[in-house]
Chains A and B, each alone.
Chain A
Amino acid sequence: MKASLTNESSTTERTRWLAPLLLLLVAGCPTDPPKPAENVYAPMGEPLPTATVEQLATFERGQAVANRRFAPTEGLGPTFNVTACGACHEKPVLGGSAGHYRDFLLVGQTFEDGSRVELGVNGVMDQFSLETGRERTPEGANHFATRNPIPFFGVGLIAELSDEVILANADPDDADGDGISGRANFERGFVARFGRKSQTLSIEGFLRGPLFNHLGITTDPLPAELAAQLPVPVEIDETLGTGRDALTVGRRSDAQATIPPGVRTTDDDGVPDPELSVEDLFDLVSWAMLLAPPEPEELTPQTEAGRELFRSANCSGCHVESLEGPRGLIFPYSDFLVHDMGPDLADGIFMLDASGDEFRTQPLWGVAPVGPYLHDGRADTLEEAILLHGGEAQASRDAFAALGPEDRGRVVAFLESLGGRDQHSAGLLPPGAVVPEPGAYGGPLRALDATEADAYVAGRAVFDRDFPIHEGLGPSFNGDSCRACHFDPVIGGAGPADVDVTRHGNDVDGVFSLPLIGTTMGHRHANGSVRPVFDDECNVVERRQTPTTLGLGVIDTIPDAAILANEDPDDLDGDGIRGHAHAMGDGRIGRFGWKGNVPSVLEFVRDALSNEMGVTLPAQAGQTFGVGADMDDIADPEVDVDTIEALTFFIAMQAPPPRTRTDMAMETAGETHFEALGCATCHRALEDAEGMPVALYSDLLLHDVQAEGFLGIEDDGAGTREFRTPPLWGLATSAPYMHDGRAETVEGAIAAHAGEAAASVAAYEALDATARAELVAFLRSL
């Protein structure tokens, strides 16, 4: 039988653990204080040292699932924010957080009674739509809230904590008068502990929900027999334990298997559900549960002083230093309760019992390398994060603010000592990342002298560095670094579908007009939870894949004359191909970008900094791209010429994607087909200023290869249907293909050609399977 529990007795329940303790003290029986858990730390991204051989195997498989990029034919969509789990959990390594460019929006409709209905996909505003390019804001939406991805390190140890251990720190009515009144957020009767509002109890649920909401990937719950084998096992308690009054681990783990009822987890994208197998889901959940927290550093005089200041300011009132789990004491520096953080941080989002101004105490183990901080990433540094605390933390915040710079530094140093500092990166490049050999992926195009090598490393660091809001990121932006979009397969490379740029405009009877806000839409907003402006009147929305920047410097050396030599706008030779250069109004010839609208690497840098990152630039002689002023509060220009030049040098000096030959015979045969089919008419080599061939496989001209009825964006000299012939070097590492990523494979990309390429496509389709395979082998070798 299950004994009664009341809401009036539940406070007593929460503190009943004190009773035996007091008894022991009174009786004078010494007991060993709980000891720190052993073998629980590892570098971020690595498994718990206690993982068994079997668990290590599932950890590796789960890691692969977390990194797996889903394509539409594998279930991605119909709407999505990202294509892989790892897209949002990558900093400093897989399993972590992400920069501002992975911020996402919650969306809903709030009513006059204060209630709020979730809109979008279970409350998530997806950016991309496979059908319409940009997912439209749901009708009635009047409330957005920004979220920055949350790290997973140590979640298995957190899952092991009993409800009672968490409830022991609850003080919902502030009975002790310290101004801190944290309370648990319950889910189905158990203490939830994951998410910005402690709104989730189950790691499985914490993965299945985002898989569906952000990727459109459907899953079935783990069957009981598999769930029982998880690293934090879901024990199916046949008697259902002793009930809610006991709040036992057995009961809690029983509920961990599921996500809350009523949450939609099926879609209608034409791919059979579930789109992720239960075996893959098991591996993914196991991987997350096994991710170890980083080991805190030994205290130094500086960090010990910082810890004392941390304590004296009562930061530890919420960031509770240790909690006792089944392995002993763990040190997450969180009580996992929700607290009122004041009106400035309030987001108006209700999650279970957590109100609009309540947030979970964020764990601080491994905090150093997982910024930006706070639920919406508004703080780029730990000091900013502390100073933005309010509500129940106001007194602690004020105590910190009253410290001198040195003491503040000690507090921050202490926080940084809580593990992971050695993995901190200004972007995603690990500390001390080696520059690959000349000519290799990520390496320079030639051997560099010492000065050039330093400049290459410095430029790469700028390319990789997450650009903070307080330095001018935004107000709207797509990436918070160059690397945010260009990282496939190495920094500087291409980007997957989830970093697409989106353009929009109006096409009325073939006449294109620009929206007043320009064709480029930022996906994210740096200041406040709003969706960047979109002109709802626009009838053309175009996603643009991120092309590689590898080899741009080589392309930059190709003389205009070499490009113009292949023009044939009136098809005088009668081959059906009418390429023309993108002639800019000032006489320059464009050569970069899907519309061939950018004339040089320097202009490319200026264009991307302003249009994709929202960064304002100083004027440079002869340069016309980029903007000098924006609407944020940061003084313009937000970067200096040195930054621009550092980026320009790095990009210009990157080697083109190296050719990787694996089957010479097949590839040679494929090249023959490539030329015979007429592909090489557009996808050709050009000569540089020295007359040396540049095997970029592009004429850098604009062509119409679109199907009948296509509506696109006009860009000065490039018509709505025209796109620059994309270089094919590095093709194998730059999927998906075509300007909007409509083709997942090389074969699909060939078939997606039309217009001027129709004859080549028809010839390709006439090839037998062997010849097609040879052609693809050749293309993939480039």
Chain B
Amino acid sequence: MKRFLPLLLLALACPGPATDTTWDPAFDATSVGWLLSTFSPDGDVRYAVGGTPDAGVVYSDVTGDWAPVDTGLATPLLNWVFGFGPDDLWVVGNAGTIVHHDGASWATVDSGTTEDLWGIWGSGPTDLWAVGGSGFDDAIATLLHYDGAAWTSMELPELARPNVHALFKVWGSGPDDVFIVGQRGTLLRWNGSTLTEELVGTSEDLISVWGTGPDRVAVVGGRSNGIVVTWNGTEWHRESVSPLPGLNGVWMGDPDVIHAVGVDFVTATLDFETLAWTEDDITLPSGGRKAFHAVFGDAAGRLTTVGGNFASAGTTGTYEGIAYERELDD
């Protein structure tokens, strides 16, 4: 963060040139495997995780350029990264993988499950949630909680929605206000003592959730057409944002602005109240169709999105990543 502070002050003080909101490649991630999540705990160093089904990777720009991080661990695909600082980072992945970084070393942590884990978020170092489940018939929608000492499995309420075999992401405004989204329109809320299922008007997969406070929460999803669901503190509002295709990732810094990414290089900015959207400018790469999976805005005013060739990897056998960035204009 420190190295960007003068820039931020300058930006605040002077009108300066217009913000460049065109997405450009952050680095050539073609050969690193899929990239599924990006995060920066402090606006200084950015991390991205992903890999292939058999081998997870962690990348960071700690040196100024994006480069692989030698974790010393052999893990399967890594799906999400979150943390509270450079010395308290958490990564989850397939087959129940949970990895913790204490600033010096990386270590796997017992999750107590073999289900794929898709998302992790916490209100603080002693209050983290992880979610998962492969989504297939024999999988179990999984919710784990970390109390600072160990991860334990949380019992889900009996869901009204049938055939829910995966929870995809979790986010909260605080320890007593946590939102969990998942397969077939599943949305759960944690109020500090109870998990409750809420029906939000869709049975599309809800893939990611982010917000800025208890009355500013955005959920995105949809496998074919993009779906956005918002919570304004009072009610849920659901809307299809087609022709935007399915949305995989969401991030909010400004309470009135939603940044969403998804299938076929979608990078869009939406107004929280009206859901009016603008598809961002982007310099498209060559090499076939890819999708963005996650987006994150950091304290340095950068918006970063990562993804891969999720649709075609199964037939081509190659796992290609993409990483883009632009300035935040919120």
Contacts and interface: CB of A to CB of B under 8 A. Distances in A.
Interface string B290-302: 0000000000000
Interface of A: 1-8, 10, 109, 111-119, 138-140, 184, 186-191, 220-221, 223, 236, 238-240, 243-245, 247, 254-255, 258, 260-262, 352-353
A1 B283 contact: yes
B246 A188 contact: yes
Nearest to B222: A352
A8 B240 CA distance: 14
A1 B287 contact: no
B203 A115 contact: yes
Contact of A240 (B22, B203, B246, B265): B265
Contacts of A189: 225, 242-245, 263-264, 266
A390 B224 CA distance: 29
A352 B242 contact: yes
A2 B281 contact: yes
| Closest CB pairs A-B (n = 8) | A186-B242, A113-B199, A188-B245, A262-B223, A189-B245, A186-B243, A115-B203, A6-B278
22 contacts: A1-B283, A4-B279, A4-B281, A5-B279, A7-B241, A113-B200, A117-B161, A119-B163, A138-B162, A184-B243, A186-B225, A186-B242, A188-B264, A189-B245, A189-B266, A190-B243, A239-B286, A244-B264, A244-B266, A247-B243, A255-B264, A260-B224
Most A-side CB within 10 Å, residue of B203, B266, B283, B310: B203
A236 B315 contact: no
B209 to A, nearest CB: 17
Given A112-B199, A352-B225, A4 B311 contact: no
Contact of B279 (A220, A245, A247, A262): A245
Given A1-B284, A7-B277, A115-B202, A353 B240 contact: yes
A261 B223 contact: yes
A184 B243 CA distance: 9
B216 to A, nearest CB: 21
A244 B205 CA distance: 22
Interface in B241-297: 241-246, 263-266, 276-284, 286-289
B95 to A, nearest CB: 20
B199 A111 contact: yes
A117 B203 contact: yes
A163 to B, nearest CB: 9
Contacts of B145: none
Contacts of B46: none
Contact of B185 (A7, A117, A191, A220): A117
B243 A238 contact: no
Contacts of B12: none
Contacts of A7: 241, 244, 276-277
Contacts of A243: 265, 279, 284
Contact of A238 (B276, B286, B311): B286
Contacts of A258: 311
The listed residue with most A CB atoms (<10 A of its CB), out of B163, B200, B276, is B163
Contacts of B240: 352-353
Contacts of A111: 160-161, 199, 203
A384 to B, nearest CB: 33
Nearest to B163: A117
Nearest to B198: A113
Given A188-B245, A261-B311, A238 B288 contact: yes
Contact of A1 (B22, B163, B223): B22
A284 B200 CA distance: 40
B201 interface: yes
Contacts of A352: 224-225, 240, 242
A109 B163 CA distance: 11
Contact of B315 (A112, A117, A221, A260): A221
Contact of A113 (B201, B244, B315): B201
Query: Of A3, A119, A221, A243, which is in contact with the most chain B CB atoms at under 10 Å from its CB?
Result: A243
Contacts of B326: none
B184 interface: yes
A459 B14 CA distance: 92
Residue from B199, B242, B246 whose CB has the most chain A CB atoms within 10 Å: B242
A738 to B, nearest CB: 31
Given A117-B184, A261-B223, A238 B287 contact: yes
Contacts of A353: 225, 240, 242
Contacts of B225: 186-189, 352-353
Contacts of B284: 1-2, 239-240, 243
Given A189-B242, A190-B243, A353-B225, A6 B276 contact: yes
Contacts of A261: 223-224, 246, 310-311
A115 B201 contact: yes
A139 B264 contact: no
Contacts of B287: 238
A238 B286 CA distance: 5
Nearest to B185: A115
A116 B160 CA distance: 11
A119 B162 CA distance: 8
Contacts of B241: 7
Contacts of A255: 264
A252 B284 CA distance: 17
B12 to A, nearest CB: 27
A258 B245 CA distance: 14
Contacts of B265: 2, 240, 243
A187 B315 CA distance: 21
A2 B276 CA distance: 19
Contacts of A240: 264-265, 284, 288-289
Contacts of B277: 6-7
Contacts of A10: 243
A114 B201 contact: yes
